Structure 1
Amino acid sequence: MTISAAFSNALSGLTASGRASGVISDNIANALTPGYAKRSLELTSNATAGQGVRVLGVVRRTDPVLTDNRRSAEAMSLNADNLARFHADFGALIGPSDNPGSLTNRVAELEASLITAASNPSAPSRLDATVNAASDLAQSIRSAGTGLRDLRTRADRTIGQQIDNLNGTLQDIEALNARIRRVQLSGADTASLLDQRQQLVDQVNTIIPVKIAARDHSGIALYSEGGAILLDGSAATLSFTTAASAEPHMTQANGLLSGLEINGMAIRTEGGASPIRGGTLAANFQIRDELAVEAQQNLDALARDLIDRFADPAVDPTLAAADPGLFTDAGAAFLPADEVGLSNRLELNAAVDPSQGGNSWRLRDGLNAAGPGAQGDAALLKAMSAALTDPRALASGNLGTGVMTAGGAATAMLSITSQASAETEQRASFAAATFTEFQRIEQEIGVDTDAELQSLMQIEQAYAANARVLEVVGTLMDTLLRI
């Protein structure tokens, strides 16, 4: 080997070692950085000069199939987590069986207070206690209805926020596509830009699960798993209008709640055929348009059942057919055509409530009685107690097809909610475990800091060896010049 060849080999080796150490330093520094992919230096023999090595560039190491699986698992996990949180929140609104303020316990308190009052109908304190128990029950149902409306409104507002986020992120990816193309054509390194784009794609994926299609010059197109075009050349524009409040009577079908449009085209938002299925956006549409609506129907059915049980003239002879009973629709008689949102309007009849100017003795003598009757007459109180515990089929809702008491209806609602909560929590746990496993596998093929440090030590040795060769070459040249 000639002196010049040795010099060239050592110099190219030093250059390669310097670049390699920089790549490894970046790997170690960004081992925990989201979206960062491991880099490696690609080398080849220096065919042009006929000696030494040449740096081809820095290669970004990723596994597209594994990344796609991890993204699908993450979207599924977040979707399930949103649904589980809704059921848990609604379950808290109606209260578990061990909560004194739960609907089941409020019904039981009213039943017990009616029995107690019937045992001594002349005692005003017992009549007042019954009024309070009935008022507490109406308040609990009304609070649950208000809380359910708030959950639905939260879902609607979250949809609006996610749509704004999606539009901005898709535009950022479009801009990055163009920038990556320019940088690549200039021959510069695009790895950092690719990391940024992967982070943005991950953000889109949590809202709408996506599939990636490669385009020229490292560009990408994004499609939802349901087939909607989110970005191909230019970013799609998603449109949605947030409501001030998602009231019970408001739905997407009647036009009072907004649907979703992509580039001006209406998109199906429910079911397995929805183009946006699988992510947090689909979960919030499902909460707003399906789960909360069904929960509202059941809560309204429970409120209607209470109204119907006490508005029967056979129970209270002082009532006419159109008169409100012990429970009312915002103070008025209930009309079946106005059932939607009834739970939010359920109130105790003011005629029996001393706090509203009424008289508790009307529980004993009749809601429309002209005046107090015989203080020892417990007939009406017993009739009310019997009405509360009378097995009957509910006129609406999905709490069951058989006959049930008022307490049984409340228990059925609690059971349905608890079962739904348990099932969605189980799915969320499974989905979270799946995502965690894919995340672990992806990290394993990512930056291994121990391996990177070992490589760095080898590079340092190679650097020292090449430096030693240069030192020897320098000594030889000095010796030749002195001859």
Structure 2
Amino acid sequence: MSMFSIGLSGLNAAQNALNTTSNNISNVYTPGYNRELTILGQQGATAGGVQVNDIQRQFNQFVASQLNAATSSSSALATYENQISQIDNLLADREAGLAPLMQNFFSSMEDLAGAPSDPAARQGVLGTTNTLTAQFRSFDGYLQDMQEGINGQISDEVTQINNTTEQLATLNREIALARARSGEAPNSLLNQRDQLVAELSERMDVRLNIQDGKSYNISLPNGQPLVAGTNHYRLEAMDAPNDPQRTVLGYRDSGGSLVAFLKRRWKLRSLSPETSIKDATGEGSS
């Protein structure tokens, strides 16, 4: 190889490295993008110049898995706190909450105990009782509306999860085809797949198993598969057979925003006066 060819190989390698750097800068704010590095190597056995061996994606699977697990837990807590705070604001309001009404009710009862024959004291008890009862009914209606809203959110979460798992299965197929054609998968497809795994982890606690170092298999903590190679398995939110007001799922989950909605829905039912009466008589469940 001539000195001109060797010099040209160096220019080409430098141009590729500059292109990689430019691509990194351009995608600095692209969600899911991983920085790339140009790997250079000697061309030929002796004095063959330089060549680009690979455009390597800077991605650490262990770090990503730890981050996804932390994201799942954080998302569950943040979503639960955001939702349950609405109940706290409703019940703990110093002016419109239960505390002032309960205080007025017990004060009227004390007045009646001190003067049982006083018509004004009796009327005071009736008035505070009616006010407290009306407020309980109002709170119950509000909690029922919140429960219906949460059921809708659960259904939306399940739809998003199903869409994500379907995209993951499609990417597994596209990556396998790309590897069959060129021996390597485009970094853009790998970035998209890892970004989808991260988004899925925000919604639920999942387990990732990389088959043969290539295909992604996603499952629930109990082992139920969501993505197996190019196949995906759909989840379904449905009304509970014994309680149409409840939305149930066919699996157990311990993290992510979906489980936070489920926890909050359970909390609403435990706060509902109607539900509490049913549970006390053994006719209902929360």
TM over 0.5: yes
Q: Distance in 2 between matches of 1:184 and 1:225?
A: 30
Change in Cα spacing, 1:171 to 1:45, as seen in structure 2 (3 Å) is: same
Correspondences of 1:2-13 after superposition (within 5 Å): 5-13=2-10
Does 2:262 match 1:285? Answer: yes
Change in Cα spacing, 1:127 to 1:27, as seen in structure 2 (3 Å) is: same
Q: CA deviation at 1:16?
A: 0.7
What's the % identity of the aligned pairs?
22
**2:242 paired residue number:** 254
Does 2:132 match 1:146? Answer: no
Q: CA deviation at 1:214?
A: 2.0
Q: CA deviation at 1:106?
A: 0.5
Q: Distance in 2 between matches of 1:143 and 1:339?
A: 23
**1:199 paired residue number:** 195
**2:173 paired residue number:** 178
Q: CA deviation at 1:215?
A: 3.1
Q: Distance in 1 between matches of 2:171 and 2:284?
A: 49
Change in Cα spacing, 1:25 to 1:130, as seen in structure 2 (3 Å) is: same
Change in Cα spacing, 1:217 to 1:107, as seen in structure 2 (3 Å) is: closer
Q: CA deviation at 1:83?
A: 2.6
2:43 is aligned with what amino acid? N
Contact 2:13 2:51 in 1 (8 A): yes
Moved more, 102-111 or 128-137: 128-137
2:101 is aligned with what amino acid? R
1:284 is aligned with what amino acid? F
Which deviations, in whole Å up to 9, do the C-alpha atoms of 1:6-46 show, x marking residues without a partner?
Answer: 21111011111111111111111222322111100111100
Contact 1:206 1:279 in 2 (8 A): yes
Q: Distance in 2 between matches of 1:298 and 1:77?
A: 33
Q: Distance in 1 between matches of 2:41 and 2:155?
A: 52
Of 197, 205, 208, 2:204 maps to 208
SS in structure 2 at match of 1:238: coil
Contact 1:71 1:202 in 2 (8 A): yes
**1:377 paired residue number:** none
Of 12, 37, 40, 2:37 maps to 40
Q: Distance in 2 between matches of 1:53 and 1:100?
A: 77
Contact 2:275 2:284 in 1 (8 A): no
Q: TM-score, normalised by structure 2?
A: 0.85
**1:225 paired residue number:** 221
Of 155, 163, 166, 2:158 maps to 163
Contact 1:184 1:217 in 2 (8 A): no
Contact 2:84 2:264 in 1 (8 A): no
Q: Distance in 1 between matches of 2:25 and 2:221?
A: 34
1:194 is aligned with what amino acid? L
Contact 1:297 1:340 in 2 (8 A): no
Q: Distance in 2 between matches of 1:91 and 1:27?
A: 46
Q: Distance in 1 between matches of 2:119 and 2:212?
A: 89
Which deviations, in whole Å up to 9, do the C-alpha atoms of 1:275-303 show, x marking residues without a partner?
Answer: x2222222222333x433333369846xx
Bigger Cα Rg? 1
SS in structure 2 at match of 1:214: strand
Q: How many residue pairs are counted as aligned between the two chains?
A: 279
Change in Cα spacing, 1:231 to 1:48, as seen in structure 2 (3 Å) is: same
Structure 1: tracts of 5 or more residues without a match: 244-251, 262-266, 268-273, 305-335, 342-483
Contact 1:101 1:140 in 2 (8 A): no
SS in structure 2 at match of 1:33: coil
Q: CA deviation at 1:162?
A: 1.0
Q: TM-score, normalised by structure 1?
A: 0.52
Structure 2: tracts of 5 or more residues without a match: none
Does 2:271 match 1:295? Answer: yes
Q: Distance in 1 between matches of 2:270 and 2:241?
A: 15
Contact 2:154 2:262 in 1 (8 A): yes
Does 2:49 match 1:73? Answer: no
Q: Distance in 1 between matches of 2:206 and 2:171?
A: 17
Correspondences of 1:407-422 after superposition (within 5 Å): none
SS in structure 2 at match of 1:239: coil
Q: CA deviation at 1:74?
A: 0.6
Which deviations, in whole Å up to 9, do the C-alpha atoms of 1:356-404 show, x marking residues without a partner?
Answer: xxxxxxxxxxxxxxxxxxxxxxxxxxxxxxxxxxxxxxxxxxxxxxxxx
Of 12, 21, 46, 1:24 maps to 21
Contact 2:108 2:125 in 1 (8 A): yes
**1:346 paired residue number:** none
SS in structure 1 at match of 2:2: helix
